[in-house]
Structure 1
Amino acid sequence: MIALTLGEIAGLVSGTLHAVGDHDPASVVDGVVDTDSRQMTAGGIFVAKPGEHTDGHRFVGAAIANGAVVAIVEHLVDEEITQIVVGDVIDAIAELARGVVARVRAGGDLRIVGVTGSNGKTTTKNFLARILSDEGETVAPIASYNNEVGAPLTMLRITDRTRFLVCEFGASAPGEIARLAGLVHPDVVIELMVGLAHAGGFGGIEETARAKAELVAAAAPTGTAVLNLDDPRVSAMGAGAEERGLRIIGFGQSPAADVRASDIEVTASGTSCVVHVDGQAIALRLQVLGAHHVNNALAAIAATGALGVAPADAVARLETVEIAERWRMQPMGGDDVRIINDAYNASPDSMAAALRTLAQITGPGERTVAVLGAMSELGESAGDEHDRIGLLAVRLNIQRIVVVGADARRLFLAAVGEGSWDGEAVHLPDADAAFDYLKDELRPGDRVLVKSSNSAGLRFLGDRLGESFS
């Protein structure tokens, strides 16, 4: 974080300062800000966040041991550390982030990119970070730091030297993107797609679209909206962008797109296409698996182009990205049995895309194996969407369908009902049972997809399989 006095921090968070030792309101702090006491370093600021299962106030002592010199708390704790008492620590870190970003922006050349979408956010922010890091100091979220805690913590990592801040905005209810993006008003906003991820929290896909459009409404007045023209709900956001006077850059495979892809090919070693932009046709060879990542790459090329990066430079940098993120289409295993661990999260759209990729990368004499768990947060659509994925897996001729967990049973029943009944589909109670089954079932030539929502825990099953067959 940038250097601020304790008095300035207390003012930004509307808190009451309780200084200890040689601290006073004029004392300067510039350490890391985090809610995890284990991540504290010398001079850090620990945010004592109350949690669902524990309370950060219990870990102030651990934060001190790791170097914290200030704690933002909701009540004083009996520890020898300077404390700033606030009404709500979540609101406090948001307001601290707002203030820090405003100061850096006022004093330098900070440009901010915000990205949202039902799928592809994390891959796209990693693509953005790779492109922009060659232009200057770039701060981007760790993993999926995109919620009411993660987004402000990412913003607070900037320094006076930071040129680019990439923000990933997720949401599970209306108003959340507006609140988070409103802290920084990005110069460039990216709308990837509107799907059924988290639809249970929004009440349906149209409500999801309205929530995602909050990012366009929060863009800086002279900003740029980068919109997926292949998604009609995203394309429709162009009207709102025009009303706000934003520059619009369309991407996708649509002929109307300003940044367009053609000749898409998916193999076991990566994904290739031709990028058409500014009258150029540039070959792109991604190491990342899956045709669905092409649009993420196009979005990153379009957004960084709005910030002055030449498309050819953006393409060259994207070609160096080895994986989208851990547990996202991550190749594991060995030459005989290849594992694709894509079990960090799942929605109907991403599940379908991953299954299609599995089918595309499996050659003659090789066998497709899909290890599938539940998709969470789908609300009333959950049953029908699990049915749809079960049907798709059979229609793609996935030769072994291994369904894990009670919440995914509908997927198994749909696969069996579609014809996968002679041992091709099995249902197992948990990840341990699935591992025991697969370590004996898998054979040379198998191409294995492990896919589920985070809550199903199959990402660790993917790790175990990758290690066993490496």
Structure 2
Amino acid sequence: MIALSLAEIADITGGRPHDIPDPSVRITGSVVIDSRQVEAGSLFAAFDGEHVDGHDYAKGAVDSGAAAVLATRPVGVPAIVVPDVEKALGALARAVVQRLGTDVVALTGSAGKTSTKDLIAQVLQTHAPTVWTPGSLNNEIGLPLTALRATGETRHLVLEMGARGIGHIAYLTGLTPPRIGVVLNVGTAHIGEFGGREQIAVAKGELVEALPAAADGGVAVLNADDPLVRAMSARTRARTLLFGEAEDADVRASEVRMTPAGQPAFTLHTPTGCGEVTLRLYGEHHVSNALAAAAVAHVLGMSVDEIATALSGAGTLSRWRMEVTERADGVTVVNDAYNANPESMRAALRALAAMGGAARANGGRTWAVLGPMAELGDAALAEHDAVGRLAVRLNVSKLVAVGGREASWLQLGAYNEGSWGEESVLVSDAQAAIDLLRSELRPGDVVLVKASRSIGLERVAQALLDGAEGEVAGR
């Protein structure tokens, strides 16, 4: 964060200094909400959480080097006392971003946000100092914490924005007003909470509504291949730049093909020329993500050669998202267990099928270890059934459905599609899946592990890798 005095922070947040002998002391370190992450000169924001009250760790944070605490009550150490720590953190982020004048790139979408954010960040980092959202910290707390990592040298600030209802993205854009807004897609993630794709589109479109006018540099980067996203051009004053495989897209891909390993390659077309890209990521769905990143880089002045080179060198930054590891015995584990929705589940299965070509050539099989997809509401049965059917249509060798009711719908979909033998099986929990895989995996097999985050299916992938030497691909 840029250095600010405690007096300045109190003024920005509307807080009251307490037990602060010298208000001119400056915060020179990071802003953190975990006392274990404190460094010299930090500001520790004490949140009263569901299980832990950060105020109880205030003294320890100061003892570890924090200059002060942002709190809702006096804590016996230097503190700025505010009515609401979350709102104070947001106000501080807004003030810092305004002072920096850095280019803010915000992106949202039902699927692919984190992977695309990581691509944008890696491409822009080759151009100028860039700060970006770590992992999926894309909410009212994670977004300000990311923004506060920016310094005077930061040229690009790339922020992922999530939404669980109408108004969420509008609130986040108020904290860190973007100049460039990217909308990837409108799918069915959280459809149970929103009530329908049209409502999801309303929420995602809040991003482009927040952009400055074209005359002031605002640019809306929209997916030309998604009709609900394309239609958002009517909701913004910003200039619109389309990406996708559509012929009229400003940034598009042609000659899309898959390498034998399952990594996509394509010809990148931008308004300034063409370049060849071979991604280190797995799955054809990453072509769209890469085009979104290319569009942002084009807006920020990178040449097509620079963009193509940077995309071809980019890997995975966030854990458990198509994280591919080949064990020493030849078994490949694809850990995509961070989260799941119908769109990302289908994309992962298609990526597994593409990787399966090389596996089958070496006598291997493809395994889809799948768990429930959460927050689908009334669409849950149909969507789980459809995923099970798709696994059969893609000729996945073995489907292992993990869990209770939703998992049974996955397995039933596979059965009804024609998986009548040992191609699909329902197991009760992660340990049962681990036991099955350990007994049946053989060299050359490829195992995809995917489910909603709440299920914790990453334990399966981790168990398959524990004690097994391997090499992580795509990094």
TM-score range, shorter-chain basis? Answer: over 0.9
- State the one-letter code of the partner of 2:416: G
Residue number among 142, 153, 159 corresponding to 1:150 in the alignment: 142
Q: Which of 285-294 and 437-446 deviates more?
A: 437-446
- Deviation of 1:271 (Å): 1.6
The residue number in structure 2 matching 1:118 is: 110
Identity %: 47
The residue number in structure 1 matching 2:398 is: 400
Give per-residue Cα distances to partners, 1:343-363, cap 9 Å, x unaligned.
Answer: 111110000011011111212
The residue number in structure 2 matching 1:239 is: 234
Residue number among 181, 188, 196 corresponding to 1:189 in the alignment: 181
Alignment of 1:432-443 (within 5 A): 432-443=431-442
- State the one-letter code of the partner of 1:93: L
TM-score, L = length of structure 1 = 0.94
Q: Secondary structure at the match of 1:97?
A: helix
Q: 2-side partners of 1:467 and 1:436: how far apart?
A: 14
Q: 1-side partners of 2:27 and 2:353: how far apart?
A: 54
Q: Which of 275-284 and 307-316 deviates more?
A: 275-284
Q: 2-side partners of 1:388 and 1:61: how far apart?
A: 53
1:462 aligns with 2:461: yes
Residue-pair matches, total: 459
Contact 1:333 1:466 in 2 (8 A): no
Q: Which runs of 5+ in 1 are unaligned?
A: none
Alignment of 1:119-268 (within 5 A): 119-221=111-213, 222=216, 223-241=218-236, 244=237, 246-267=238-259, 268=261
Q: 2-side partners of 1:291 and 1:441: how far apart?
A: 29
Q: Kindly tell me: are residues 160 and 446 of structure 1, through their superposed partners in 2, closer, same or farther at Cα, counting changes over 3 Å?
A: same
Contact 2:262 2:354 in 1 (8 A): no
Q: 1-side partners of 2:50 and 2:424: how far apart?
A: 37
Give per-residue Cα distances to partners, 1:50-87, cap 9 Å, x unaligned.
Answer: 2122222222233224321211111222x3x2111111
Q: 2-side partners of 1:192 and 1:201: how far apart?
A: 20
Q: 1-side partners of 2:122 and 2:254: how far apart?
A: 23
Q: Secondary structure at the match of 2:91?
A: helix
Contact 1:327 1:342 in 2 (8 A): yes
The residue number in structure 2 matching 1:362 is: 356
- State the one-letter code of the partner of 2:436: Y
1:289 aligns with 2:285: no
Q: 2-side partners of 1:179 and 1:443: how far apart?
A: 50
- Deviation of 1:202 (Å): 1.5
Q: 1-side partners of 2:37 and 2:187: how far apart?
A: 34
Q: Which of 187-196 and 403-412 deviates more?
A: 403-412
- State the one-letter code of the partner of 1:226: V
Alignment of 1:332-343 (within 5 A): 332-334=325-327, 336-343=330-337
- Deviation of 1:31 (Å): 1.7
The residue number in structure 2 matching 1:428 is: 427
Contact 2:364 2:442 in 1 (8 A): no
Q: 1-side partners of 2:27 and 2:352: how far apart?
A: 50
TM-score, L = length of structure 2 = 0.93
Q: Which runs of 5+ in 2 are unaligned?
A: 471-475
- State the one-letter code of the partner of 1:431: A
Q: Which of 216-225 and 328-337 deviates more?
A: 328-337
Contact 1:139 1:162 in 2 (8 A): yes
- Deviation of 1:279 (Å): 5.7
Q: Kindly tell me: are residues 459 and 65 of structure 1, through their superposed partners in 2, closer, same or farther at Cα, counting changes over 3 Å?
A: farther
Q: 1-side partners of 2:113 and 2:178: how far apart?
A: 15
Contact 1:333 1:468 in 2 (8 A): no
Give per-residue Cα distances to partners, 1:432-465, cap 9 Å, x unaligned.
Answer: 1111110111112211111111111112321221
- Deviation of 1:324 (Å): 5.2
- Deviation of 1:417 (Å): 2.6
